[in-house]
C-alpha cells in the first residue's frame, strides 16, 4: 500500500506516439464519459464529455481498449467502447471495429513515479499500486473490508471486465478511505470508479 499525494499526481506521465500521417480521424462520444489523464480509470480525471460530442481521435494503445482524444477542449484518454466512428456511411463502435477502421497505435510512457510522504498528509487519498500496464492492485485492507461488509449481488447482464461501464441502476457501495467503490456481481466483488461507473478491478 502506498500514499499518493494529490497535488503531485498530475503531470507525472508523458505521452509518446507517432502522429497521424493522414487527416485526423473524427469520432463521436457514445455516452457521457470521463476523460482521464492516462489510459485507465485510476488516472486523474481531466473532465467530462457529454454524449454526442465531436472528438478528434489520435489513436489507441496496442492490445488495449484505451484511446486518446481531443473533445470539448479536453485532451486525454477514454475507453474505446464509448467512441463511435463513421465507417462506410454507418456509425460503428471503435472497440468492435478497430482493425477495420485502421486506427493508429499510440503509446503511453510513465517517466516518473511520484510518491507521496511515508505517512499520509491531509487530503491525500489511499489508492492501490499501479503497474506498468495501468492495472490497479488494491491494498489488502480493501478486500478485508469487502469480506467483512457483505452486500447482496446485483443483476447485471453485461460483460464483467475491467473497463466496462455499469448502468446507473446498479447500486455501488462506498469503501471507506478508498477512491473506488464496490459491488458484487455473479458472487464476485468488483471495484468500480464511482464517477465514471467503470469497472477497475475484478476479484477472482
Rounded average pLDDT over 178-194: 89
What is the C-alpha separation between 56 and 76, in angstroms, rounded?
11
- Residue 142 and residue 186 share a domain: yes
The percent of residues above 90 in pLDDT, for the chain, comes to 18
- Residue 158 and residue 59 share a domain: no
Residue 99 is part of a domain; what is its CATH number?
2.30.30
Query: Whose CA is closest to 59, among 85, 30, 41, 33?
Result: 85
SS3 138: coil
Last residue of some domain: 61, 91, 109? 109
What is the C-alpha separation between 133 and 135, in angstroms, rounded?
6
Between residues 170 and 136, the one the model is more confident about:
170
Residue 197: pLDDT over 80: yes
Structural domain includes residue 192: yes
Domain count, the chain: 2
CB count in 10 Å sphere of residue 84: 18
pLDDT at 182: 93
Q: Cell numbers of 200, please?
A: 477497475
- Residue 87 and residue 164 share a domain: no
- Residue 142 and residue 105 share a domain: no
CA quadruple 186, 29, 75, 125: dihedral sign: negative
What is the C-alpha separation between 18 and 37, in angstroms, rounded?
18
Which has the minimum average pLDDT: 44-48, 112-116, 154-158?
A: 112-116
Last residue of some domain: 94, 109, 124? 109
Which has the minimum average pLDDT: 3-7, 23-27, 51-55, 61-65?
A: 3-7
- Residue 97 and residue 18 share a domain: yes
Task: Determine contact, residues 80/40, Cβ cutoff 8 Å.
Answer: no
Q: Cell numbers of 183, please?
A: 459491488
- Domain housing 8: 2-109
Task: Determine contact, residues 83/71, Cβ cutoff 8 Å.
Answer: no
pLDDT in tens, 70-85: 998 888 999 888 899 9
Residue 153: pLDDT over 70: yes
DSSP 40-59: STTSPEEEEE-TT-EEEEEE
Amino acid at each position: 500500500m502506498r500514499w499518493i499525494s494529490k497535488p503531485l499526481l498530475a503531470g507525472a506521465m508523458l505521452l509518446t506516439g507517432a502522429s497521424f500521417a493522414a487527416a485526423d480521424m473524427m469520432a463521436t462520444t457514445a455516452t457521457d464519459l470521463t476523460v482521464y489523464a492516462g489510459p485507465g480509470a485510476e488516472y486523474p480525471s481531466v473532465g467530462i464529455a457529454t454524449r454526442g460530442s465531436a472528438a478528434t481521435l489520435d489513436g489507441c494503445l496496442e492490445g488495449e481498449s484505451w484511446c486518446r482524444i481531443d473533445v470539448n477542449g479536453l485532451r486525454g484518454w477514454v475507453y474505446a467502447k464509448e467512441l463511435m466512428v463513421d465507417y462506410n456511411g454507418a456509425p460503428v463502435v471503435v472497440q468492435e471495429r478497430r482493425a477495420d477502421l485502421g486506427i493508429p497505435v499510440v503509446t503511453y510512457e510513465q517517466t516518473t513515479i511520484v510518491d507521496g510522504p511515508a505517512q499520509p498528509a491531509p487530503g491525500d487519498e489511499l489508492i492501490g499500486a499501479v503497474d506498468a500496464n495501468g492495472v490497479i492492485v488494491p491494498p489488502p485492507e480493501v478486500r478485508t473490508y469487502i469480506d467483512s461488509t457483505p452486500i447482496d449481488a446485483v443483476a447485471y447482464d453485461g460483460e464483467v471486465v475491467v473497463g466496462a461501464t455499469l448502468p446507473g441502476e446498479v447500486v455501488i457501495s462506498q469503501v471507506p478511505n478508498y477512491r473506488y467503490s464496490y459491488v458484487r456481481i455473479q458472487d464476485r466483488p468488483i471495484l468500480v470508479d464511482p464517477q465514471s461507473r467503470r469497472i477497475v478491478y475484478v476479484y477472482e
